[in-house]
Chains A and B, each alone.
Chain A
Amino acid sequence: MGVPFEALLPYGIIITMFGVSGYGLHYVKRFANDGKKARWNRDLWDRQMMERDQRITGSFRGQSSNHQAPTGFDVSNPWKIESRIY
């Protein structure tokens, strides 16, 4: 006889729910990342470079291929402050 279709309906709804959150997050992430795919598995280097991107273009995902930095870039570098250990 097999599983009647009535028992499979809730599974269909579960799949739809996963689809709702997956595709919803897809659009929200695209919106939050200037229409690009979100970065994943970022390490310290990637985060540091994204901060640098933000200093150059004004947004974490903005990109530019100029060979000259905008004015003021050379003095906007943040120093990381650590507590002193003697």
Chain B
Amino acid sequence: MRFHCTFGVNFWTFESFQPNTAAMANREARFNQTVLVDTTPMPDHIPKVEEIGATSAPLLSASYFIGDRCKAYNDDFMKCKDESNGRGEFDCLKEGRKVTRCAASVIKDINTHCLDQFKAHWECLENNNHQLWECRRPEVQLNSCVFDKLGLKKTLPGAPEGQVPVHLRPKQKYAQYPGPQW
């Protein structure tokens, strides 16, 4: 048996993004006990946008493709929020609408072209605590389908150079089936 001494150290940071927290508009964490549902719609002078109806697992499954197509819009939105000094909710509505529309377009395209692979992947994710390393087999099929039909490619931002990225390694050490996945 081979020993891989990588316990936990990079267990959770494999595919996580590293947000620049210093530059983001931070606010103190505070407990809240009650919520208020305000059913007043947005005022008319603000243009309407269709909200995204995908839930957590499909969003996670599509996230890298959304990131690939919408990188410019997302960066724009984050830059706007950084620069608006905590008033981002009011000042960045325009950028936010672009982000929403772009993400919705990606999800719509994946739904029309790669529905079966997409469904297989997000159902696997939903059944395995949303952990990407448990679902590499459906993920490879989804990635190749999306690359063929839509030209979007999954890349891990900030992955170390000159190594095979985790999602392309055939063996997934922490998965329930740690052997070759495909």
> Which residues from chain A contact B118 at a C-beta distance below 8 Å?
65
Name the interface size band of chain B. Answer: 35 or more
> Which residues from chain B contact A16 at a C-beta distance below 8 Å?
none
B35, closest chain A residue (CB) = A78
> Which residues from chain A contact B35 at a C-beta distance below 8 Å?
78-81
CB of B84 within 8 Å of the partner chain? no
CB of B129 within 8 Å of the partner chain? yes
B39, closest chain A residue (CB) = A75
B39 near A67 with CB under 8 A, answer: no
B56 near A49 with CB under 8 A, answer: yes
Knowing A69-B52, A73-B51, A73-B53, the reply to whether A63 touches B40 (Cβ < 8 A) is no
Of A37, A50, A56, A79, which is within 8 A of B53 by CB?
A: A56
* A77 and B105 alpha carbons, distance in the complex (Å): 22
> Which residues from chain A contact B21 at a C-beta distance below 8 Å?
none
Knowing A40-B129, A41-B129, A81-B32, the reply to whether A74 touches B41 (Cβ < 8 A) is yes
> Which residues from chain B contact A63 at a C-beta distance below 8 Å?
55-58, 122-123, 126
* A81 and B130 alpha carbons, distance in the complex (Å): 29
B36, closest chain A residue (CB) = A79
* A49 and B55 alpha carbons, distance in the complex (Å): 8
CB of B50 within 8 Å of the partner chain? yes
Of A37, A57, A78, which is within 8 A of B37 by CB?
A: A78
CB of A61 within 8 Å of the partner chain? yes
* A36 and B34 alpha carbons, distance in the complex (Å): 29
Interchain residue pairs with CB less than 8 A apart (20):
A36-B126, A37-B129, A41-B129, A46-B56, A56-B53, A63-B55, A63-B56, A63-B126, A64-B54, A65-B54, A65-B107, A66-B53, A67-B107, A67-B111, A75-B38, A76-B39, A80-B32, A81-B33, A81-B36, A82-B31
Q: Residues of B at under 8 Å CB distance from A?
A: 30-42, 50-59, 104-105, 107-108, 111, 118-119, 122-123, 126-130
Q: Other than A39-B130, A63-B126, A75-B39, give 19 A-B pairs with Cβ distance below 8 A.
A: A56-B53, A63-B55, A64-B54, A65-B107, A65-B118, A65-B122, A66-B53, A67-B52, A67-B53, A68-B104, A69-B53, A70-B53, A73-B53, A76-B39, A77-B37, A79-B37, A79-B38, A81-B34, A82-B30
